[in-house]
Amino acid sequence: MSEKIAEIGVLYAPFLGGMMVGCFLFGITISQSIIYFRNYKDDSLFLRALVASALLIDTFHFVMVAEGVHNWYLFCKLPQNYAGLAEFHWSLGASILATYLITSMVQALYIMRVYMLSKNWIISGFIGLLSVAQLAFGIFLWEELFETNSLAALHETRGQIGGSVELAATTLCDIAISAALWWYLHKGRTGFANTEKMIDKLILYMVNLGLLTSVASLLTLILWLVMPHSFAFVSLTLIRSKLYCNAMLVTLNYRQTVRTALHGGTTQQTTGRYFQDIDQVEMDSKVYKSSNSRH
């Protein structure tokens, strides 16, 4: 009996590890959300609704993951409930859908920023297709698990195809967003020292946030492919929604620093059309835009 329980513990350890890291990241999400709603009361209704929706969905995700861990580590450890370990528990299905939804929401916001900076429909559309692909194949994988009601579907052909394409599309989408932001920010260089310094900071800041989610998605894909009969990839999957939420919130909360640097510490000559585009990319508040236009 003890050997059986130990085997179960090792198999499902990634779920517990992912939840523990998720607790830490969820705390950061809450604090970043508080900062946002306190400091950006004049943001558009769309942006505030997006942040509120992401926070609610991520909270729902956290609760579902907690219920899943409770199910596997407490309920299913009872001898009469061992069969439940192989089943696709409803809480896991709910958390998966929440992850795909948050990923799509945050990627859509970044794609809007890429378009505002580039005005290029082709590039923005291509990145958008990658985001749609991750959502579509993610739902395909979820349906496969739901229909079979078994975690073993993750290791079957259809499950492997759905999961591989979903993770690959997510990774490529994040990399494409980072590359596009880097390229168009780099093209905006004007030669002024203050401008160059600010652009370098924006590139470092925006690209690093994109690379964070890209690396997480890539590592998940690698674990998925090289350890097909393990749940090792789950530990990263369970924190993916938290990474995306925090990337979005930190970016939005960074706007005040950008505004101060662009309009407080630089000359009017260096704050031309390019930096007006940066303000648009950073989704400035209506009040700030209107007051700035009066000057």
Supply 174's token pair.
């994040």
pLDDT of amino acid 1: 45
Amino acid (one-letter) located at 80: Q
38 vs 287, residue with greater confidence: 38
pTM: 0.80
- DSSP character for 12? T
User: To the nearest whole percent, how much of the chain has pLDDT over 90?
Assistant: 29
Q: Which domains does the chain have, with CATH numbers?
A: 2-285 (1.20.1070)
Coil vs helix vs strand at 41: coil
Compute CA distances 166 → 111, 148, 158, whole Å: 18, 19, 12
In whole angstroms, how far apart are CA 156 and each of 72, 160, 162, 186?
A: 22, 6, 10, 44
Reported for 69-78, long-range contacts at CB under 8 A and 24+ positions apart, including other chains, are: 69/15, 69/16, 69/19, 72/8, 72/12, 72/15, 73/9, 73/12, 73/15, 73/16, 76/8, 77/5, 77/8
- Check: CB of residue 69 under 8 Å from CB of residue 19: yes
Which residue did the predictor score with more confidence, 83 or 92? Answer: 92
pLDDT band at 56 (very low <50, low <70, confident <90, very high): very high
Whole-angstrom distance, CA of residue 41 vs CA of residue 285: 8
CB burial readout 2-22, b (16+ within 10 A) else e = eeeeeebeeebebbebbbeeb
pLDDT category of residue 260 using cuts at 50, 70 and 90 = low
240 SS3 class: helix
Q: What is the DSSP string of 48-92?
A: HHHHHHHHHHHHHHHHHHHHHHHHHHTGGGSGGGGGGGGS--HHH
Question: Do 179 and 263 meet the contact criterion of CB atoms below 8 Å apart?
Answer: no
Q: Which of 276, 283, 249 is nearest to 262 (CA)?
A: 276
Answer with the residue of higher pLDDT: 4 or 77. 77
Nearest to 100 by CA among 70, 56, 131: 131
Q: Is 53 in contact with 101 (CB distance < 8 Å)?
A: no
pLDDT score for 173: 93
- Six token digits for residue 184: 């168009």
b/e burial code for range 237-250 (CB count within 10 A of at least 16 → b): bbbbbbbbbbbbbb
Instruction: Answer yes or no: is pLDDT of 153 > 90.
Output: no
Mean pLDDT of the residues in the chain = 78
How far apart CA 39 and CA 96 sit, in angstroms, is 32
Q: For residue 272, is pLDDT > 70? A: no
Is the confidence at residue 137, as pLDDT, over 90? yes
pLDDT band at 108 (very low <50, low <70, confident <90, very high): very high
